Every structure is written in C-alpha cells, then in structure tokens.
Amino acid sequence: MKIIEKVEAIKQQELKATENLETMYNTIEEKNDDINAFVEVDIERARKTAAEVDEKIKNNEKVGKLAGLVIGIKCNINVADYTISAASPTLKDYIGSYNATVINRIMAEDGVIVGLTNMDEFAAGSSTETSMYGPTNNPKAPGHIPGGSSGGSAAAIAADMCDITLGSDTGGSIRNPASHCGVMGFKPTYGMVSRQGLLDLAMSLDQIGAFGNDTSAIALMLDTIVGYDPCDCTTFKKPTTEFIDDINTTSLENTTVGVVNEFTEVTDDKINAVVNKQIDNMIDLGAEIKELSFNDVSLGLPTYYLINYVEFFSATRKYDGREYGERIEEVCGDEVARRLEIGSYISQKEFSGKYYNKAQKARSLIRNDFSELLNGVDVIAGPTVPKLPHKIGEEISTMDMYAYDVLTVLANITGIPASSMNAGDVDGIPVGLQLQAKPKDDHKILATMSALEN
C-alpha cells in the first residue's frame, strides 16, 4: 500500500490511525534494539494523537493531509518535551520547550509523531557512527553504516518503523543515507522549508527535508512543510503548487536529462552500472539525454567544508555550559572537536581572508557554473554516493569519510533541490540515483522520481 492509499484508508476508517500506530510501534519494539534508528519514543503521546484523529473522522470533522500517518523526527529538530540532543552529550539533558515550524505544520495536518531518530553528533558526519547513542545499523545491508548524518531517519523508513521521517541536509545528510538504505530522500530548494527550530550545523547550507518509501510520502510531507515562515527570513513568500499532483507522472517526454561525465569518473564502476540502467529507463520513458561536463567537482568538498567549519563554530558559541547543557568543547566527540578547532582557527581575522573568504568566492564560481550546467536541462541524473558504505566500526580516514559527500555537497553550495531514490543494488547493498534541478524546480524532480517509480 502506498502512503497516499494508506492515508485515504485511514480517512475512510478502513484502517484506524490507532491501528496504524500500533503496527509501527510493534515494529519499533521488535527491531530497534538491533537497528538503533529511534533514540526516543513517546508512545502514549502518539496514541493520544492517533485516537484524536480517529475521533475527528468518526465525527465527520475535517482531517489533515497526514491524518494518522506515523512520523519520525531527526533529533536536531525541536519537538516540545522531547530531548533535543542532536546526538551530543552537550545537549543530553536539553528538553525542547517549543516546536519547530515544521513540527507545528505536521501536527496541524494530523501527523502522529512517534519519536526522535538517531544521527551523527550535531549532524557532523556521513555514517551515523558519531552519535552518543551509538551507531545505527543499516536495515538493508546489516553490519554496514546507514549513511549520515540522518541515518536514523533513513533506517526507520527502510525498516518500516514509520510512514515518513524528517531529516536535515547540509551536505548530503538526507540523500546519502537514502542511497545507502534504499529509500527516497528529498532535499528541497534552500528557502522552501523553514529552518526555525533546527539546530544549526551551517545555516547557509542546512535544509529540512523528507524520507519515504514512495513518492506520495515525499509529496504529502512537502505539501505540509513547504511554505513561507515569518520566523525564517530565508523562506520564499511565493506559494508553490501542490506536490501531490506530481505523483501520477508516467512519462518523461519533453524532459531533458543531463548526465555529467565528471560525476561518473569519481564513482565506483559497479555503482555507475546500476545508475546507468536507470538512465536507460529514463530514455525508455521518453527522456532526451544530454551529456554534460562540470570541471568544478574537485572544488566542492574544500569549499563546502571551509564554509561548514566557520558557520558551525559560530553556531555553537551558545553552547558555553551556562544555558545549553555542557560546554561543547569539553564533552563533544572527535569529529565535532575537529570542526570546532578548524572553524576557530580560520574564523580569526588574520586567516579569514585566506580561507573563508576564498571559500565564498569559490562558492560563487560553483553556483554560476552549475547554473549554466542546468540551463539546457530539466534535471541532472547521476549517482548519489560514489562508493558503497563501509562496515560499522571499520576505521577509515577523515578524507575517505568526507569523500562520501563529493556528489551531494554541490546542491547545498548552490541551494538547488536534490533527491535520491533507489536505483538497484551492488552485491545486495542499495545504490541511489540522485536527481538535481534548478532552484524552485522541486516539482520537476518529484515528477521524474514518480515516472521512474510508476
């Protein structure tokens, strides 16, 4: 049953919201000790919400888009009365005192929030191994990382623990785990979704997005969370059309798909082979393929991380041990400490010109060049992640860890929409197809995903 079919079944009371919740909760109880996707569950609160949804329907009252769907939330997004720790000992005792804008919108649409999902500490990672709660296991490739930093949200979908989850994407943190876990993940255009209530990693790069097992799940969540928010000055005031209208797309006629040679050159051959089959499917659906070249690929990672280091250092100055739990430098893990140390160094006046200002110039170059790349196509298709996930606990170098993001950081640097959907597998391990488009062309991505799905 697709998610749109499930929500309609709930509205017709062929399936009760309470029944849907109990099914999901039983799965969490059965699997979470092994997978560690959820770090906090409030089943009594969720049961109360689900019962209210069923009562509304019984009384013929109007219910929302997400009526009775079970939702998981990454633990760096504020939900009142939950522990909003960002998986860090810094905030291990911080209880959310308010709801993020996206949470209020989910509640307004009768979504049933069941709990918080695991992540890399402060979203600083690509494997969900740096969490104070311990690593998350990949349900589709047991023993391997699920990707990060939103690994818990991706794993929860892959393990059928809930209907939709929220994650945040700063350099690929939705698309990377979506690829490794064989699910769908969508990072909207920067400014489409309010970031109010999200704990910053890098404010000019962060964006909240969704995970699901089908395009209707993504569409329903986007229709819920996309929109202007006066509390976030980066959000767009112009409304968009409904994403649910995109899920019945069956043809890619009159669609030009760009394939970037440099993306395949940095990717494992086995992954390219799987992705190329999806490119062939797009041709069969009527798409025209256009080969492209992008010479700034090697600029992506250094530009991204220099900006990330400085903005993360700035964002964490409030974690000084007075109002927000522990002093971050005294309790954080190695990767967070590394980013803080480098961020502190290159934030200094005598070094900002040498590093941060040059990174901003490189960002402008990448943005301009990528804009030109997108001019002649509707979407760009290619691999999401250039290599397969390593095994949990396997020691890899910092640069090898950062290399997971080489194909995803470009969308954050440029602010464009991007997604990942399952393209197949290599030796039983899922491989993702990444789709990218011009700013505010989020609909084109979802329609393309729908055509491939249908």
Instruction: Please count the structural domains in the chain.
Output: 1
What is the DSSP-derived secondary structure letter of residue 164?
E
* 325: pLDDT strictly greater than 90: no
User: What average pLDDT does range 230-234 have in this prediction?
Assistant: 96
The Cα 180–Cα 144 span in angstroms is 9
Of the pLDDT bands very low, low, confident and very high (cuts 50, 70, 90), residue 316 is very high
| Cα 53 to chain centroid, rounded | 27
State the DSSP H helix or E strand holding residue 343, giving kind and residue range, or none if neither. Answer: helix 334-347
Residue type, 309: Y
Host domain of residue 34:
3-246
* 225: pLDDT strictly greater than 80: yes
Pair 113, 120: CB distance under 8 Å: no
pLDDT of residue 239: 87
Q: Summarize pLDDT for 253-306 with one digit per residue, the tens.
A: 999 999 999 999 999 999 999 999 999 999 999 999 999 999 999 999 999 999
Sheet-wide strand order for 70-74: 38-41, 112-117, 70-74, 164-169, 207-212, 184-187, 418-426, 429-436, 379-383, 256-260, 288-292
Q: Tell me the two tokens of residue 193.
A: 């979704």
The verdict on residue 141 lying in a domain is: yes
The verdict on residue 197 lying in a domain is: yes
Catalytic residues: 74, 149, 173
* 353: pLDDT strictly greater than 80: no
User: What average pLDDT does range 54-73 have in this prediction?
Assistant: 98
Of the pLDDT bands very low, low, confident and very high (cuts 50, 70, 90), residue 363 is very high
The verdict on residue 408 lying in a domain is: no
Q: Summarize pLDDT for 14-63 with one digit per residue, the tens.
A: 999 999 999 999 999 999 999 999 999 999 999 999 999 999 999 999 99
For the chain, give the number of residues. Answer: 454
The Cα 299–Cα 296 span in angstroms is 5
Q: Summarize pLDDT for 78-117 with one digit per residue, the tens.
A: 999 999 999 999 999 999 999 999 999 999 999 999 999 9
What are the C-alpha distances in Å from 91 to residues 221, 329, 335, 343? 28, 12, 16, 20
The verdict on residue 422 lying in a domain is: no
Residue type, 261: N
Nearest to 300 by CA among 396, 366, 374: 366
Q: Summarize pLDDT for 153-209 with one digit per residue, the tens.
A: 999 999 999 999 999 999 999 999 999 999 999 999 999 999 999 999 999 999 999
CA–CA–CA angle 218, 3, 239 (5° rounding): 40
Residue type, 78: N
What are the C-alpha distances in Å from 178 to residues 164, 269, 393? 12, 20, 20
Classified as helix, coil or strand, 99 is coil
The verdict on residue 189 lying in a domain is: yes
The Cα 234–Cα 187 span in angstroms is 15
**pLDDT, greater one: 143 or 355:** 143
* 122: pLDDT strictly greater than 90: yes
The verdict on residue 213 lying in a domain is: yes
Q: Which residues does 349 contact at the CB level (< 8 Å), separation at least 6?
A: none
The pTM for the full model equals 0.97
Helix ranges restricted to H, 36-158: 43-58, 101-108, 151-158
The verdict on residue 160 lying in a domain is: yes
**pLDDT, greater one: 407 or 354:** 407
Pair 235, 347: CB distance under 8 Å: no
Q: What's the burial of 8, exposed, middle or buried (CB within 10 Å: 0-12/13-18/19+)?
A: middle
Q: What's the burial of 241, exposed, middle or buried (CB within 10 Å: 0-12/13-18/19+)?
A: exposed
CATH of the domain at 190: 3.90.1300.10
Strand-pair partners of 70: 112
The verdict on residue 452 lying in a domain is: no
Mean residue pLDDT across the chain: 97
